[in-house]
Amino acid sequence: MSYNFKTIRPVMPAKDMINVILSKTQRKTPTVVHPGYDISRIRGFYMRKVKFTQETIHEKIDAILQDFPKLDDIHPFYADLINVLYDKDHYKLALGHVHACRNVIDNIAKDYCRLLKYGDSLYRCKMLKRAALGRMCTTLKKLTSSLNYLDEVRKHLSRMPAINPFERTLLVTGFPNVGKSSFVNNITNANLDVQPYPFTTQNLYVGHTDYNFVRWQVIDTPGVLDHSLSERNPIEMQAITALAHLKACIMFFLDISETCSYSIDQQIALFKDLKPLFKNKPLLLVMTKIDIKKFEQLDPIDQQKLQDVIQSENVFYSQLSNKSGEGIALVKEKACNLLNEWRQNLKPEQLTGGNPNLLREESILQGVYIAQPKRVNQNRMPVIPQVVGKLNRPTLKDVQEQNGGAGVFSFPLQEHFLLDNPDWKYDAVPEIMDGKNIGDFVDADILQRLEELEKEEEMMDQAEVEDPEEDAREEMLLNTRDQVNKKREMIKEEHHMKMKQQVKLHRPNLEDAKEDFAKKGIDTTFLEQRAQKFAAKKVIQKQKRQQHSSDDSDDNDMDIEGNERNQRKGRDALSRSRSRLREISRSRSRGNKKVLTAQEQAMERMSKKIQRRRRNEAKAGDGDTKIDCKMPKHLFTGKSGIGKQSRR
């Protein structure tokens, strides 16, 4: 039993609906089919489309039918209201039409699917599907007017005020222009249109107010005229519906001043006409516009008439003025009390319509009594205990101020330390020493343990088995080894130096050579002979040089070069050795296989050695690659960008 019609979905006009459905079919079903396919596949393809369309339409129509309220299922107040506003018959017909359309479409789909089962070619199946969809769409087109009507109903329904038929309500009725809307404006937050012309209010309006901590609805109705039911227009009918169905306290407004252009007589007549509607409901007769004319100021005849009505109907009455505000609160109170009393006599099912939540609410509200405590102590003073009240020493704040203020003064936390000896308070405690944490060693009985440790150490010292022999031997051997190694190194160095020096010494002067050999005890006569030979050779060479051109043999060139070099530097081992060798080999080739003397052998060996070394020295080995600069600045500066990285 909902009273909120805002959740009805918008109803599409028929044209739009057709477009939507067809485009959905196109999108959501497979689109490709070829004549070469299996016939069952083709049939399935087209049947799918037909079925899909039918299902979509079915869904959409279902949505409409579900959303719109069924007049039999809702509260009779709303059913009547809808009837009044939209004509029950028209409403039912529209919905019925839509419902019937749905069935028709289902049948179309069924028929054509049956026919499709026997379609024997792609073309035939296609035509069948086309026919099916076409017929469905025509049926939908016929719904245009119904759908339009339903959409209008929906729009109007959604704008209806949410009147809860089960909430406490005050219903305000009377002739037009009597002051009903002004009253509702006064009581609630509503902002209703108040104008001097009649039928300003044309619909029911709801305002909410509070009384006794509970929410109350106040319903403003359009003015009612005095004629028979069949003559009433839809606007008045709304008011009548509200009067008929809502369980509310009815407040009949009567304009004493007759400024609503209706006399008191007419109003009383209306009152009597509407009496059957007021049956079994709390009724309050409210006399309005007393600021213009008071009840006492009325003609005694009118006064008498009113008195008669009140007495005869046995009805409660009250006065108010909307403009001045006089009596409004009283009226409200009276009306609310009346309704509350009346509600107490009703059964809870009647009040709540069987809704369990509302039942619970009701039971709670009826049992609520809010108790207020008696206030004994109006003034509560602060309580400060006597001890604290008087301080002799200066507070910390005073100390702070003395020593420079908040930012300057820092309270020494050590002041309140409780140590064995108060002198220790301001000690700077060491934490780390020699890579260790002092805190790890601190122990109450550390001295005792240290003593034990030292004793242990003494014992260990005594028990140690030293091997003095072994130690002495070790010392001796290692020392000698060091000495020996040093000597070896020295010998190596000397040898190295010698080898280098020997290269230099290889071509000494004749005198030096003689001396040298004399020291070593070697015969020097062969030296003089050799020197003579050399001298002779030189002369011959010179002559040859003068005769021949530059296309001479390599030997001579080499010789020349060698000699020149020799002359320049005086020490060219290669040339010397070569020349030496040549001499020896020449002597050999002439058949004089000389048995070389010791010196000559030594010479030979020496020359070979030097050649060997020179030969090796002349070539560059693996270790000879020398890179002076491994990272030249010009190759390693700058950003790389997107460039290659093959060069590093």
Partner 1 sequence: MRIEKCYFCSGPIYPGHGIVFVRNDSKMFRFCRSKCHRHFKAQHNPRKTRWTKAFRKAAGKEMTNDSIFEFEQKRNEPLKYNRDLYINTVQAMKKIDKIRLKRENNFWKNRLRAQRKQNLDNVETELAKNINLVSDKSVKEVIKQKAIEKAQLKAQKQKKQQKKDMVEEEA
Nearer to partner 1, 70 or 492 (CB): 492
Nearest-angstrom CA–CA distance, 420 and 241: 96
Is 193 one of the binding residues for partner 1 (CB under 8 A)? no
One of 370, 381, 447, 627 touching partner 1 (CB under 8 A):
447
Residue 469 contacts partner 1 per CB under 8 A:
no
**599: burial class by Cβ within 10 Å (0-12, 13-18, 19+)?**
middle
Locate 276 and state its tokens: 């059957």
Does the protein bind partner 1 through residue 229 (CB under 8 A)? no
| Beta carbon of residue 496, minimum distance to partner 1 (angstroms, whole number) | 17
Among 19, 263, 483, 597, binds partner 1 (CB under 8 A): 483
Q: Which residue, 1 or 450, is less far from partner 1 as judged by CB?
A: 450
- Phi, psi dihedral angles at 433 (to 5 degrees): -150, 130
Q: What are the contacts of 614-622 at 24+ separation with CB within 8 A?
A: 614/573, 614/574
If one asks whether residue 415 binds partner 1 (CB under 8 A), the answer comes out as no
Which one of residues 391, 408, 432, 463 is an interface residue with partner 1 (CB under 8 A)?
432
Whole-angstrom distance between the N-terminal and C-terminal Cα of the chain? 85
Q: Which of 38, 72, 231, 440 binds partner 1 (CB under 8 A)?
A: 440
Chosen residue from 420, 469, 511, 622 binding partner 1 by CB under 8 A: 420
Q: Rounded to whole angstroms, how far apart are CA atoms 125 and 46?
A: 7
Quickly tell me which residue has 């060069």 as its tokens: 647
Binding span for partner 1 by CB under 8 A among 234-242, 416-424, 585-593, 635-643: 416-424
Residue matched to tokens 């509407």: 274
413 part of the interface to partner 1, by CB under 8 A: no
Q: How many CB atoms lie within 10 A of CB 298?
A: 18
Closest CB 436 distance from partner 1, rounded Å: 6
d(CA 619, CA 628): 19
Stretch that binds partner 1, among 208-216, 295-303, 392-400, 454-462 (CB under 8 A): 454-462
Burial of 256 (0-12, 13-18, 19+ CB in 10 A): buried
Region binding partner 1 by CB under 8 A among candidate stretches 80-88, 92-100, 470-478, 495-503: 470-478
Q: Which of 474, 494, 515, 617 binds partner 1 (CB under 8 A)?
A: 474
Residue closer to partner 1, measured from CB, 365 or 478:
478
Task: Sort 416 into a burial class: Cβ within 10 Å, 0-12 / 13-18 / 19+.
Answer: exposed
Binding range to partner 1, per CB under 8 A, among 192-200, 290-298, 340-348, 440-448: 440-448
Applying CB under 8 A, among 118, 123, 424, 426 the residue interacting with partner 1 is 424
**622 touching partner 1, by CB under 8 A:** no
Q: For residues 518 and 531, give the distance between their C-alpha atoms in angstroms, rounded to a whole number.
A: 17
Among 155, 473, 533, 608, binds partner 1 (CB under 8 A): 473
User: What burial class does residue 485 get, using C-beta atoms within 10 Å of its C-beta: 0-12 exposed, 13-18 middle, 19+ buried?
Assistant: exposed
Applying CB under 8 A, does 428 fall inside the site for partner 1?
A: no
Distances (CA, A) of 478 to 473, 474, 481, 597: 8, 6, 5, 46
Question: Rounded to the nearest whole angstrom, what is the least distance from the CB of residue 502 to partner 1 in the complex?
Answer: 23
Do 101 and 61 touch, CB atoms closer than 8 A? yes
* Interface with partner 1 (CB under 8 A): 417, 419-421, 423-424, 427, 429-444, 446-447, 449-450, 453-454, 456-457, 464, 470, 473-474, 476-478, 480-481, 483-484, 487-488
